[in-house]
Amino acid sequence: MNKPGDIHQRLVNLKALLDRINRAWASRDYEDLMLFFVEIFPSLFKAERCSVFLTDVDSDDIWLKFGTGLKEKEIIAPKSGSIVGRAIMSGQVVIQGRLDQMEGFHQQADKKTEFTTRNILCVPITSIVGNYALGAVELLNKQEPNDFNNDDVVLLKRIVKFLALSIENNRESEEIIRISRGMHDEITRTGEILKGKHRFIAASRPMRQVLDISSKIGPLPVNVFITGASGTGKEVIARLIHESTEDRRNRPFVAVSCSSIPETLMESEFFGYEKGAFTGAVTSRMGRFEEASGGTLFLDEIADMPLSIQPKFLRAIQENEGTRLGGHKVHHYQFRIISASSRDLREEVKKGRFREDLFFRLFSVDITIPPLNKRREDIVPLALMFLDTTNARFNKNVRGFSRETMELFESYDWPGNVRQLQHEVERLVALTPDHETISIDQCSLRGRTGAEEEPEPDSLSLPEHRRRMEIRLILKALQKTRGNKIQAAGLLDITRQSLHNKIKQYKLEKSLGPSFHLLEE
């Protein structure tokens, strides 16, 4: 079994490797290759100039990025009203002559490049892995008496395939750089977490943001309020904040569930009591305030704290002191408060169920933990982590999950959040023999969606039923491909542009949630 020190050293080594990868790919040698094509094309095709346009993966804009005599760094071309736009949108070669007598985008570009375009051959650059355009190559002004011909088209299309390979290789390199930088940052954070006691999964963007905030405020003596639905892991975040600094890590972390303490016992729970303070007090007992001194007091479901105890609670944390029930000695407290609630504490204040002055005393920094169905990237890593920990606790050796089980986990809505996922993994490990893979047959989630499906309309309108069916299929395809538009369009047997238009038409980005990110490639 790997020791924490061994794991940390492996992470340090991987971090150094990622540093070298980032530095090695920083030169962008592909730009030199693109400029080489721009220089050689005019002489090869007996043309005056060459331009290379590239599509932007995020905005679908068309940019002139490499070109003969290009003084401005980048020029954007419209999809409609330009020859390059027509070639990219149609995926067809365009040959056009007598342009010096015609109006269009080429005249605007001519003004910027101080050039006069007479004829053009435009060939789209098509992806070698998908049926979509990466950009286009334009040859301007054939020097011979005739315009560009079919021989020029055949030769240029053959060369453009190599150009496509270069462009896609560069884009993949940039994606690898982005991923490696993200891994670099994640490894840096993970190395810090390994110094503590708790494992934390942050594969999704929302949870990485939670981790970033937690690491920043951990060393600071500020009170923190964590909100999130039941089972999202509020106490895990609280412990992570507590353990983020070496000084506090070895001090007490005292967790109190405010919803589980009867109102009559609340005061003695927090302040403690002396022997004989009330019937049954046969010994003295320190309260939670004293227990947490020097460390962290975690107040779970703070919204359930009775109004009757709130004034005394407020005074104690303001003055950092208090006395036990039945006693006279003043005990001094020094701790950080992390409070949590599954309810909106601001609403509780408005309704008069929570004191406003106590709210602001507790509310220095707030952290919101989204439900598990809004951060689906975390489901598989969490399931694998729970598999490891459950195998160790149960002294078992279950190999892993079947593909069907993983797909069910990813599609399920998890109303009980992370706690439900953990319990489901524990159940499956208990039911699965050693050295076998967890089968979907044992899964208790089968036949359950975790959420209500949209009811069918009462009308018999075919357009309405078609709209609902398209929305359902598009969402299913995007979920299956994890937001990859190209792959989703392939499953739906439509073009990427058609999928893009339907996503806009039906406003599906809102349906997918804030943590779900659409990818162009």
Over residues 439-494, the pLDDT tens digits come to 888 888 865 444 334 445 555 566 677 777 888 888 878 877 777 888 888 888 78
Span 373-442 CATH architecture: Orthogonal Bundle (1.10)
pLDDT at 10: 54
| CATH 3.40.50.300, applies to 205-370 | yes
CATH 1.10.1060 fits 462-512, yes or no: no
User: Which residue(s) pair with 401 in the sheet?
Assistant: 438
Q: Which sequence spans correspond to the domains of the chain? A: 30-174, 205-370, 373-442, 462-512
Residues in the chain, how many?
521
Alpha helices in 243-339 (DSSP H): 246-249, 266-271, 288-291, 310-319
Q: Are 152 and 50 in contact (CB under 8 A)?
A: no
Distances (CA, A) of 181 to 18, 25, 122, 168: 7, 12, 37, 20
Of 309, 289, 299, nearest to 354 by C-alpha is: 309
Query: Which segments of 225-304 does DSSP mark as H helices, in order?
Result: 234-242, 246-249, 266-271, 288-291
- Report phi then psi at 77, rounded to 5: -110, 140
Residue 13 is predicted with a pLDDT of 55
* Residues 371, 209: Cα–Cα separation, whole Å: 14
Domains 30-174 and 205-370 share a fold: no
pLDDT computed for residue 218 by the predictor: 85
3-state secondary structure of 67: strand
Report residue 517 as tokens: 């990110």
Best CA proximity match to 345, nearest among 385, 301, 380:
301
Instruction: Enumerate residue ranges in the chain where pLDDT < 50.
Output: 1-5, 7-8, 22-27, 184, 189-197, 448-455, 514-515
Task: From residue 21, give the alpha-carbon distance in Å to each of 2, 181, 185, 495.
Answer: 26, 9, 14, 35
Strand-pair category, 400-401 with 365-368: unpaired
30-174 has CATH 3.30.450.40 classification: yes
pTM over 0.75: no
Angle between helices 379-394 and 417-431 (to 10 degrees): 50
